[in-house]
Amino acid sequence: MRVTLMGTGDAVGVPAPLCDCEYCAASERRRRPAVLVEVDDRRLVLDIGPDIAGQLHEMEVYDVDGFFATHAHFDNYWGINELNQAAMDTHVQNEAAFDHPTFGKEVTVYGSRPVRTFTEDTFPHILDHVEYVPLDPDEAVRTDAFDVRAFELDHGTNAFPTQGYAVSAGGSTVVYAPDVDGVDAVPDFCAGADLLFFDGSVLGAEFHGDADDLRDGARRFDADRVVATNVSEHMLERHTDDLDAPGEFEIWSDFDAVAL
Sequence-distant (≥ 6) Cβ neighbours of residue 218 within 8 angstroms:
183, 196, 198, 199, 202, 226, 249
The predicted model scores a pTM of 0.94
Selected residue with higher pLDDT from 252 and 89: 252
The string of pLDDT tens digits covering residues 1-31 is 999 999 999 999 999 999 999 999 999 999 9
Closest CA to 248 of 206, 205, 181, 203: 203
Identify how many contiguous H helices and E strands the chain contains and give both numbers. 7, 14
The string of pLDDT tens digits covering residues 154-213 is 887 666 789 999 999 999 999 999 999 999 899 999 999 999 999 998 988 888 889 999
Instruction: Using pLDDT thresholds of 50, 70 and 90, give the confidence band for residue 129.
Output: very high
Section 70-94 average pLDDT: 92
The string of pLDDT tens digits covering residues 204-230 is 888 888 999 999 999 999 999 999 999
Section 129-143 average pLDDT: 96
* pLDDT score of 90: 83
* pLDDT score of 206: 84
The string over 151-175, giving b where at least 16 C-beta atoms fall within 10 Å of a residue's C-beta and e elsewhere, is bbbbbeeeebbbbbbbbbbeebbbb
Instruction: Using pLDDT thresholds of 50, 70 and 90, give the confidence band for residue 73.
Output: very high
Q: Is the pLDDT of residue 97 over 90?
A: no
* pLDDT score of 255: 98
